Chain A
Amino acid sequence: MDRMPRWADVLLVPLISLLLAAVISALVILAIGQNPWEALKIMVSGSVGSTYGWGYTLYYATNFMFTGLAVAVANHARLFNIGGEGQAVIGGLGVALIALYIPWPHWSLALLAAMVASAAFGAAWAAIPAVLQARRGSHIVITTIMFNFIAAALLNYLLVGPLKPAGTMETATASFPEATHIPSFRDMFSFGETILFRGTPANITFFIAILACLAVWLLIWKTRLGYEIRAFGFSEGAARYAGIGSTKIIMVTMLISGALAGMMAINNTLGEAERLILNAVEGAGFIGIAVALMGRSHPLGVFLAAILFGILYQGGSELGLTLAIPREMIVVIQALVIMFTGALDNMVRMPIERIFARRRARTPLSPPGPTLHPPGRVAPSSTPGTAATE
C-alpha cells in the first residue's frame, strides 16, 4: 500500500491504463484507414457539444452508474458479479409488470413502485447464484453467466408469449399507460420558448442514480454492514474469525448488487422505451464491469467512469454517421479499457511502483520507515480476486 502515494494509485494508474487503451484504439482506427483525431473530435462534439448530445450521454451514463455500482458493491466482497445483464433484464420485467397491471394515479407513485419492483426483481435474480455460492460453493462467476442466458431466454419466452399484446408482430409488451411516464430532461429543463434536450431519453432517473452512488458510499464506508463487506473481501478467513458470517455477507452483498443492476430498468424501461422490449439492456450489464474497474469500485469513481462511458457510447454512435467507423468501435474501446484497467493492471502498476521505490530510495530525507521493506520484495497484489482466500 505504501509503495506509491495514494494519488498515483487512484489517478495515475487508471489514467495511464486509459491512455494505453486510447492509443491502441487510435491504432485500430488508423488500421481501417480513418483519422483517429477526426474521430475523437466527432466523439467529443457529438456527446458533449450540445444538449442533444448530453441528453443521450447522461441517459447512457445513468444505465452504467447502476450496473457499475452493482459490480463495485460485489467487488468489495471480492465477488465478481458478471450477471448484471441478466439482473437488469429481470429488473425490467418487474418494472413492466407494475406499470402494466397497476393503474397509477400519478407518475411519482409509479416511479417509487418501479424502484421497488426493479430492485426486488434484480435482487431475486441475483439471489439464486448467491445462495449457491454461499451454501454449495458453486462459482458465482459461472452461475451468474448462466443466469444471464436464462434471463434472456425467459424474457424472450414472455415477450413472444404471455406479455405480448394480441395483434402485434413486435417482441415487446404494450406501451405503458400515460400516467406512468416519468419526466424527461426535456420536461424538466425547458423553460418557455427554449426547449433543451429535445428528443433525448435522459430522464429523472439520472438523479436516482446519483442518490444510489451516495447510498453506496454511505453503505460501504459508513455502516457496519459495509465494514463487514470490506472485511470479508479483504480476507474471508479473518472476517470469519471476527464473527462475520460468510453466508450472510455473500447473500446481502449479492442482493444489493442485483438490486442495483435491476434498478437500471427504471431508466431504460420506464424512462426511455415506456414498454418492455427484448434487447433493452444492450450490454450495459457488461459495461458495468468496465465502469467499476475504471472507478476502482468507489462510487465517485463509478460516477465519473459512467459519464466517461456515456460520452464514449453517444460519441461512438455519432462516428458511424460521419466517418466510416462502425458503431462497434465502442465495443473495441470498452474491451481495451477492461483489459488495461482490469487484467493488465499490474503491467502498468509494477513499473510505476518501481519508479516510486527508486525515487524514495534516492531521497535520504524520509524517516527510516521505508527501509522496513527489503528492496525487491513483491508487492501484495491489489487486483481483485488474487488474495489468498484460505
Chain B
Amino acid sequence: MDWATLLQILDATLRLASPLLLACLAGLFSERAGIFDIGLEGKMLVAAFLAAGFAATTGSVWLGLLVGIAGSLALSAVHGLASITFRGNQLISGVAINFLASGLTVVVGQSWFAEGGRTPQLGDGQRFEELTFPGATEIRDLPILGSLYSEVLSGHTILVYAGLLAVPLSWWVLYRTRFGLRLRAVGENPAAVDTAGISVTRLRFAAVAIAGVLCALAGAQLSTAEPAAGFVRDMTAGRGYIALAALIFAKWRPFPALGACLLFGFLQALALRPALFQQSFGFSIQGQLLDAMPYILTVIILAGFVGRAIPPRAGGEPYVKER
C-alpha cells in the first residue's frame, strides 16, 4: 500500500466513522442515564430522510437539518414516553421505533416525491459541502504532516467536525458538569438521585433528547453531506447497531467511543476496496468478514475476553418512585 492510498483510506475512515460516532455518542448519553436505546437506527433514518427531503424542497440544507432534528426528537419523545413515563420495555420500544422509521420513510417518501422512497437528488448548495482548511492547499507538499493535514483532516463536511468536537464536549459535560454527574448517577442509582430531590424523569428525558439531536446529526451526515446526494430507503443499513456495538466496545466512555468508531470506520473503508486489501496484505479477505467484524468484535468484548464491559447498572429498568 503506498502513501497516497493510505491517505485515501484514512480520509474515508474519518468520513465513514462520523455518523457512527455521532450515533454512538447519542447512545452514550441515553444509556448513561439508564435508558437503553436500540432505536438509534430509526432516529438516524428519519432524520436522514427529513433532512434530505426538506433540503431538496426548500433549497436550504440547514433548514433540512432542523426538520431532521425535529423528527428525530419526536421519536425520542415517543421512546421517552414509553420507557420513562409508562415504564414500558425500552428494548421493545426501540425495536418499534426502528420499524416505524423504516416503514414511514418509504411510505411518506413515496407520497411526497414518488421516487420509490428516494428523495430528489441534492444539487450544489442543497447539501453540506466539504470544507477546506486554511492553508491546506499550500502545505500539501510537505512530507507526511502536510499531506495528513490537507488530505485526511481537511476536506470534510461540518458535520464530521461536529462529531469530532462532540467527543471532548461529551466528556466535559458528563464528567465535569453537575448535569453530567446527575446524568451518570441516574443511570447507576436513580433512587439516590431521587432522594436528593432531583427529578429522575426530567434528567432521563433530557438524556433521551440529547440522543435525539445527535442521531439527527448522524442521519443528516448520511443523506445531505457530500458526496452523498439524497436519501435512499434504509440507507442507515445497520449503522445504528454498529454504533451500539461501538458503544459497548468503548465501555460507555466518550474517548474510547471515538477510537471504536474510527476502528469500525476503518473496517468499512477497507471493505469498500477489496482489491486494495489483497494487494497490500498479500492475502484476500472476504468483504463479508470485514462487514461482520464490528459485530464479532463486540461479541468478543461482551464475552469478557478482552476486559469486561459493564453497562450502567440501572440501564433498561424503569424507575418506580416509592410511595
Contact = CB atoms under 8 A, between A and B. Distances in A.
A28 interface: yes
Interface string A125-143: 0001000100011110111
B107 to A, nearest CB: 5
Contact of A149 (B81, B295, B302): B295
Contact of B82 (A145, A331, A335, A344): A344
Interface SS majority for chain B: helix
Contacts of A139: 302, 311
A161 B286 CA distance: 10
Contacts of B298: 142, 146
Interface in B92-110: 92-93, 95-100, 102-104, 106-108, 110
B108 A335 contact: no
A132 B303 CA distance: 6
Given A156-B288, A344-B82, A335 B87 contact: no
Which one of B38, B107, B299, B318 has the greatest number of beta carbons of chain A within 10 Å?
B107
Given A145-B241, A338-B96, A385-B91, A332 B103 contact: yes
A290 B286 CA distance: 35
A67 B154 CA distance: 49
Nearest to A333: B103
A178 interface: no
B130 interface: no
Given A329-B107, A338-B95, A346 B311 contact: no
Interface stretch (A214-222, A244-252, A376-384): A376-384
Nearest to A160: B288
Contact of A386 (B38, B89, B117, B295): B89
Interface string B300-323: 001110000001000011101001
A339 B78 contact: yes
A5 B316 CA distance: 29
B82 A339 contact: yes
B106 to A, nearest CB: 4
Interface in B77-92: 78, 81-83, 86-92
Contacts of A82: 91, 95
A386 B117 CA distance: 37
A305 to B, nearest CB: 15
A148 to B, nearest CB: 8
A346 B299 contact: no
A289 B95 contact: yes
A334 B103 contact: yes
B89 A383 contact: yes
B20 to A, nearest CB: 14
A331 B292 contact: no
B296 interface: yes
B244 interface: yes
Interface in A280-333: 286, 289, 293, 324-326, 328-333
Contact of B103 (A161, A293, A329, A376): A329
Nearest to B109: A326
A192 B95 CA distance: 48
Contacts of B135: none
Nearest to A24: B100
Contacts of B129: none
Contacts of B248: 142
Interface in B31-45: 38
A224 B45 CA distance: 46
A204 to B, nearest CB: 31
Nearest to A384: B89
A142 B303 CA distance: 11
A146 B288 contact: no
A275 B292 CA distance: 24
B57 interface: no
Interface string A325-358: 1101111111110110011111100100000000
A150 B89 CA distance: 25
A328 B103 contact: yes
Contacts of B108: 31-32
Given A136-B303, A146-B298, A150-B292, A344 B88 contact: yes
A147 interface: yes
B258 interface: no
21 contacts: A80-B91, A82-B95, A145-B38, A146-B241, A149-B241, A153-B289, A153-B295, A160-B288, A293-B92, A328-B103, A332-B104, A334-B103, A336-B100, A339-B82, A343-B88, A347-B86, A376-B323, A381-B318, A384-B89, A385-B316, A386-B318
Interface of B: 38, 78, 81-83, 86-93, 95-100, 102-104, 106-108, 110-111, 117, 238, 241, 244-245, 248, 286, 288-289, 291-292, 295-296, 298-299, 302-304, 311, 316-318, 320, 323
